[in-house]
Amino acid sequence: MNILRALTAAGLCLAIAVPALAQQERTIRFGHLNNPDHPVSFGVKRFAEILSNKSGGKMKVQEFPSNQLGNEQQQQSALQGGVQQMYSPATTSLAGIVKEFGLIDFPFAVNSFAQADALLDGPLGKTLISKLPEKGLVALGYWDLGFRNVTNSRQPITKAEDLAGLKIRVIPNPVFLDTFRAFKANPVPMPFAELYGALESKAVDGQENPFAVILSNKFYEVQKYVSATNHVYAANILLVSKKFWDQLTPVEQKWMQEAADESRAYQRQVSRAAAQKAVGDLQAKGAQFNEVSPAEQARMRQIAQPALEKFSAQYDPAVVKLYNDELARIRKQ
């Protein structure tokens, strides 16, 4: 009889425990600015697949590419307000809320993907991520966007002087504005969604983006010259609404972080292969392509140096020191 009572009690406990352990179904609205054929979109799809597998299908990702949920600022605000769950912008868009993210935008800081990964996956990238929760955002890591390059409708860019007088659309970011002013260009801040129309109407002469973005958005239709300036390494960052994150169980948070970590290597590989292929595709579409020599890139960095010193003086000195220490370390590797 005692055994029967014990078994009955155990059964009741189990019946109570099972619903408590069952995971709630969640749908994650994941927005970004890029088209469905872009490596960021491939990264979202891989992230979704891994997260679905880990959660037994309980956590579903609904992708909204191509500015469907709004421009950079609108999607960032939607995350902070808890209306949207995930977003993957370029890190440049975060400099408005954590100004030290501007360090990633310093021109000609890294000259290889290995250096870029070491900088972002190491102490500097983690320190920047740690500043986001107080702004209503949680970051799960960095994806590849690629080295940024200038296109324009007027002439090849082979040296700093070739930028003089050109109206170049840039991300609304102080570092980009001052960098291009140092080259005597006329930088025009503008949301990405408005860019193609501005190039087509000649409201601006050119723009700067990674090769895969240039190809995916068909800028070659309205831009004749593609110049491999490689002036800034650009990364996308995986952002989660903190309001949403705080609703998740520790297990769900762990799945999300693991899915981000596991999708990162794939996304970077796809992105870098796409960038390499995009150069040939752009030339096949009629774009006139030219390289910028390493010596000229070094010279351009020196021209921009006063702007970089100005921003360094405005940032947290401890973060600036970490940035410089990390650059010195990775350049020796």
Q: Summarize pLDDT for 146-204 with one digit per residue, the tens.
A: 999 999 999 999 999 999 999 999 988 889 999 999 999 999 999 888 999 999 999 99
Spatial distance between the Cα atoms of 261 and 142, rounded to a whole number of angstroms: 9
Q: What is the pLDDT at residue 172?
A: 82
What pLDDT digit, counting tens, does each position of 244-257 carry? 999 999 999 999 99
φ/ψ of 89, rounded to 5, equals -90, 170
How much is the pLDDT for 191? 87
CATH number, domain at 166? 3.40.190.170
pLDDT tens sequence across 211-246: 999 998 999 999 999 999 999 999 999 999 999 999
pLDDT value at residue 10:
46
- Whether 11 is in a domain gets the answer no
Whole-number Å distance between alpha carbons of 92 and 95? 6
Q: What's residue 171's pLDDT?
A: 85
What was the pLDDT predicted at 254?
Answer: 98
Q: Which residues form the domain of 85? A: 24-332
Strand-pairing partners, residue 240, are 86, 138
149: its two tokens? 């390059």
Look at residue 14 in the predicted model and tell me its pLDDT.
40
Name the percent of the chain lying above pLDDT 70.
93
> CA angle at residue 107 from 106 to 111, to 5 degrees?
115
pLDDT tens track for 2-36: 544 544 444 444 433 333 344 799 999 999 999 99
Res 91: pLDDT: 95
Q: What percent of the chain has pLDDT over 90?
A: 87
- Cα distance between residue 247 and residue 244, in whole Å: 5
Q: Measure the CA–CA gap between 307 and 305, rounded to whole angstroms.
A: 5
For residue 207, being part of any structural domain is answered with yes
Which residues are CB-neighbours of 230 under 8 A, at least 6 positions away? Answer: 108, 111, 147, 148, 149, 292, 297
What does DSSP say about strands 206-209 and 59-64: parallel, antiparallel, or unpaired? unpaired
Residue 9 or 40, more confident = 40
| 302 within a domain of the structure (yes/no) | yes
pLDDT of 333 reads 85
Distances (CA, A) of 162 to 167, 170, 184, 231, 272: 12, 17, 9, 14, 27
> Is 324 a member of any domain?
yes
- The verdict on residue 4 lying in a domain is no
Q: How far apart are CA 255 and CA 47, in angstroms?
A: 10
Residue 12 lies in a domain: no
Q: In b/e form, how buried is each residue of 147-174, taking b as 16+ CB within 10 angstroms?
A: bbbbbbbeebbebbebbeebbbbbbbbb
Assess whether pLDDT exceeds 60 at residue 1: no
**Mean pLDDT within 93-114:** 94
Structure tokens at 297: 């890139």
**pLDDT value of position 193:** 86
Mean pLDDT of the residues in the chain? 92
Look at the chain and report how many structural domains it folds into: 1
CB-CB contact of 12 with 57 (8 Å): no
The per-residue pLDDT for 17 is 36
What angle do the packed helices 250-284 and 113-121 form, to 10 degrees? Answer: 160
